[in-house]
Structure 1
Amino acid sequence: MTDETLRLPTIQFRAVLDLGERLASAIPLPEALAHPDLFADWEGDDGESDGDALNLSVDFEEGQLHIVLDESGPAFHYHGTHDPFESPWPSDQAEVLLKWALTLAQEVYSLGDLLDTIADAADWFEQGFTLYVPETEPTQLELIEVGITGELLTLPWLGSGSVDHEHIDGDNHPIALVWSADPDRSGEQIARAWLDPATGEPRTEAVPDVDWAAVAMSEDEVLQWLLGIYVNHHVAPTPEAQIMRAALERMGGIS
């Protein structure tokens, strides 16, 4: 468990955004599916709206609806069942959810620069500003207010050499901590972190046969340091994701 007393305070951030006509908000979701976790991005190396496909993820504890939309039209599939075209939810609920998600995806796609604007707003937050207003032609704008969760306080790397963390293959979002005695040479994995599927909490373990004397930190110290890094960068939503979720919820009529 992480020590929440070390978390920085939540900061209220406001962003003025063009959210279009908010057509999805006119489609009421079933009560059981009324509070999805939402995220959208542009498929491609730069993640910007340059004509690539739009990805919309609609997440619940029991499964996910994933929409992919490009100029040729929408496609969708589910996570949470053995068949990607079989919904984890009853057919009547899934039908409404799909209609709602397709409408929301089409709105985001038509707005074009919305996700880039949200990324700009997150950058403003990272620079210490609490209000973002874009340059825009006269149009109907929406004020989004969101409490950005503070990061856990972590120390800089106090061992020898340098470290980096990278995604690795495996279930439950695993990452590896890579240590290098010489920054100009390739490193070696010294520890790993992942989410415990039973509790949702992050777990860590050391790689066998690490020379902790060379690392200049004990195994316990390294694992505690990795835990904070994992929570900040791979568990807690980023400011961009939190602003995006609030914007998508407003577009979708989610209170």
Structure 2
Amino acid sequence: MSDQHFEQDETLRLPTIQFRVVLDLGPRLAAAVTLPAELAHPDLFADRDDEGGALNLSIDFDSGQLHVLLDEAGPSFHYHGTSDPFESPWPADQTEKLLEWALILVQEIDALDELLDSIFEAAEWFEQGFTLYVPETEPTQLELIEVGIIGELLTLPWLGSGRVDHEHVEGDNHPIALLWNMNNDDPDTPIARAWLDLETGEPRTAAEPGVDWNAVAMSEDEVLEWLVGIYTNHHVAPTPEAQIMRAALERIGGIR
């Protein structure tokens, strides 16, 4: 199957909305560590595993990633960006300072029991149309963070026959499959896929072979163009939760 690229019309993007979040960010100990200039602007995200125990902290750069896991055994870490997960993609002096900062940061996040829940709840408030989130809390020092939440691209609803859905599939560059069912049952037939072009940062799409586009009731090009918008909104543009998370962790880490 050959892949296609469609340019998104940015005039169809909803406006950025300023959202204010009040959070307990603790003593901000990591802020005392100054990151090297080359590593001063990471993309940060934290979450807990499915059992709610181990804390995962992702520290991502264009040049590589540092992932830190904190569980009952203590912190551990690995890298992405080299062939060896224990080999840093950065010079030793930069890596040493980044690790010092990251290990303090992950323990601070872990100590703030309600932080991740509050960030998730704040994102839900934003989705409901509110512009300010304040958690229920005991008296403590709180901080106000302002976040410009990027608007979604306007996309049409599915205009073909039946029902569609999308799901992650195995493969490189974050692929998803577009699933379809002509009888309005749970979508189960893959008709196209989308993935991220790592060089351009833009989605690429391709149709699966043997699709009956007359039954789908949309042309192949129409489906692939529609899929680009879905992929962009759900897998390229950061979610409100991710944007609030990054702002909060940047504040804790002293880089915002």
TM-score by length of 1: 0.96
Shift of 1:183: 2.9
Question: Given the superposition, is the C-alpha separation of residues 185 and 167 from structure 1 closer, same or farther in structure 2, using an over 3 Å criterion?
Answer: closer
**Inter-partner Cα distance in structure 1 for 2:87 and 2:131:** 43
Give the aligned partner of residue 90 of structure 1: 91
Shift of 1:113: 1.5
Q: Which amino acid is the alignment partner of residue 101 of structure 1?
A: A
Question: Given the superposition, is the C-alpha separation of residues 185 and 34 from structure 1 closer, same or farther in structure 2, using an over 3 Å criterion?
Answer: closer
Q: Does 1:29 align with 2:35?
A: yes
Q: Does 1:41 align with 2:42?
A: no
**Inter-partner Cα distance in structure 1 for 2:188 and 2:72:** 43
> Deviations 1:172-204 (Å, cap 9, x if unpaired)?
000010010123365211011001122121111
Q: Does 1:17 align with 2:23?
A: yes
- What is the number of residues matched between the two proteins? 250
Q: Which amino acid is the alignment partner of residue 180 of structure 1?
A: N
**Inter-partner Cα distance in structure 1 for 2:27 and 2:71:** 20
**Inter-partner Cα distance in structure 2 for 1:176 and 1:139:** 46
Give the aligned partner of residue 121 of structure 1: 122
**Inter-partner Cα distance in structure 2 for 1:17 and 1:113:** 9
Local SS of the residue matching 2:87: coil
**Inter-partner Cα distance in structure 1 for 2:95 and 2:185:** 52
Q: Is the 8 A contact 1:181 1:187 kept in 2?
A: no
Q: Is the 8 A contact 2:163 2:187 kept in 1?
A: no
**Inter-partner Cα distance in structure 2 for 1:86 and 1:23:** 27
Q: Which amino acid is the alignment partner of residue 113 of structure 2?
A: G
**Inter-partner Cα distance in structure 2 for 1:133 and 1:56:** 24
**Unmatched tracts of structure 1, length 5 or more:** none
Q: Which amino acid is the alignment partner of residue 248 of structure 1?
A: L
What's the C-alpha RMSD, in Å, of the aligned pairs?
1.0
**Inter-partner Cα distance in structure 2 for 1:201 and 1:126:** 25
Q: Does 1:216 align with 2:222?
A: no
TM-score by length of 2: 0.96
Q: Is the 8 A contact 2:163 2:185 kept in 1?
A: no
**Unmatched tracts of structure 2, length 5 or more:** 1-6
